[in-house]
Structure 1
Amino acid sequence: MNFDNLQLLEQRIRSKEHFISLMQQSSAQVTTSFVNPFSVKVLAEKPDLIRQIDHFYVDGGLYVKLFNLFGAGDKINRCSFDFSSVACDFFSYCQNHQIKIALIGAKPEEITVAVANIQQKYSQLNIAYVRHGYFADAGQREQCFAEINASGASALICGMGTPQQEQLIVAAREACPQVRFFSTCGGFFTQTSLDIEYWHPLMNRLGLRWLQRAVQHSHVRNRILRDYPLFIWHYLKYALKQRRNKDNAS
């Protein structure tokens, strides 16, 4: 992991309250994304992409604990784009203020069911544009941007996995000037296609969402067993380096 790039990313990390305030008050274009021990490793190799995302939020309890123990910034709390966190705030706000939104991500059959489930929960939500997250070429992506412009959407939520989702919202900011708020959402659409109440109440209350996902999805199990221990090791090395640099500077 590139520690310099990790520091660059962590300088942009904010807490849940910041996301909620930002989505309600943003008048200029803003890009936001969410990171966990897997995605932060991917982004740490892409400093140019990090610089084009205005704010990051931490959607996993492990990273939150490490950041609060060793990070140089203010203490944060978990912030995830799902119905256990800020997705409820986002959709409620958009529905109450009749904000047109565009949703991109997941497989074709997943996004169709996910949108139906979302609209069942938020019957007055103005979903102006929907598309799955698979693009055969640049032409299809440009066509997507043209359709978003035609839809009049002013907020875009994208769930395509890292770094594809971050790359798409960065490109969309340039191509869709009327969209003000851009955010990634990871696996939210896939989860929501399975069940609008995806999180089991007990798992949610005990903070064991990671365990539920590990049981349900093999790729999550692989990440927890392979990537998360490596992340802890690399993050502790990063924190030690940061502390040494601070001691030397003083």
Structure 2
Amino acid sequence: MAFFVDGSILVMFIRLLYGIRIRRRSFDMTSVAPMLFEYAQKNSKSIYIVASKQEEVEKAVKVFKERYERVNIIGYRNGYFSTEAEKQFEAKQIATINPDFLI
């Protein structure tokens, strides 16, 4: 299992809490994203995306689907939650959908 971290603070916390040195990897089209989308497309894996503002995630999904025509994006939503209850509800929904990858 591989983990990619897109946040310098999270990298620091992992190092401090667990003593594990990992590199920050931004999930964009110049680093990790192409590898994931190519793999998912080739191996019929599903993807669910939680990110950014709604308009931004919609634009990103459009770009991903244009570049990777056979990629199976089974859902997406913005990364903003107004309450803890909403966050818990969405987490359960995503778990029910059971994507192969959650971005």
- Bin the TM-score by the shorter chain: 0.7 to 0.9
Determine whether 1:102 maps to 2:68: no
C-alpha distance in 2, partners of 1:128/1:86?
Answer: 20
How is 1:169-208 mapped onto 2 (pairs within 5 angstroms)?
A: none
Which amino acid in the other structure matches residue 69 of structure 2?
Answer: S
The CA deviation at 1:154 is: 1.8
Residue number in structure 1 paired with 2:99: 153
Instruction: Provide the secondary structure at the position in 2 that maps to 1:101.
Output: strand
**More contact order relative to length (CA 8 Å, sep ≥ 6):** 2
The CA deviation at 1:150 is: 2.2
User: Could you say what the CA RMSD is over the residues aligned between the two structures, in angstroms?
Assistant: 2.6
C-alpha distance in 1, partners of 2:83/2:3?
Answer: 23
- From the CA coordinates, give the structure whose radius of gyration is larger: 1
Task: Tell me the percent identity.
Answer: 26
How is 1:1-250 mapped onto 2 (pairs within 5 angstroms)?
A: 26=1, 31-35=3-7, 39-40=8-9, 44=12, 46=13, 51=18, 56-59=22-25, 80-157=26-103
Runs of at least 4 residues off by over 2 Å: 46-51, 54-59
C-alpha distance in 2, partners of 1:111/1:50?
Answer: 31
Which amino acid in the other structure matches residue 57 of structure 1?
Answer: R
Instruction: Provide the secondary structure at the position in 1 that maps to 2:55.
Output: helix
TM-score normalized by structure 1?
0.36
Query: Using a 3 Å threshold, how does the CA distance of structure 1 residues 107 and 50 change in structure 2: closer, same or farther?
Result: farther
Aligned length: 102
**Residues 132-151 of structure 1: CA distance to partner in whole angstroms, max 9, x if unpaired?**
01011111111111111222
Contact 1:32–1:55 (Cα < 8 Å) also in 2: no
The CA deviation at 1:152 is: 2.4
Contact 1:105–1:132 (Cα < 8 Å) also in 2: yes
Contact 2:46–2:72 (Cα < 8 Å) also in 1: yes
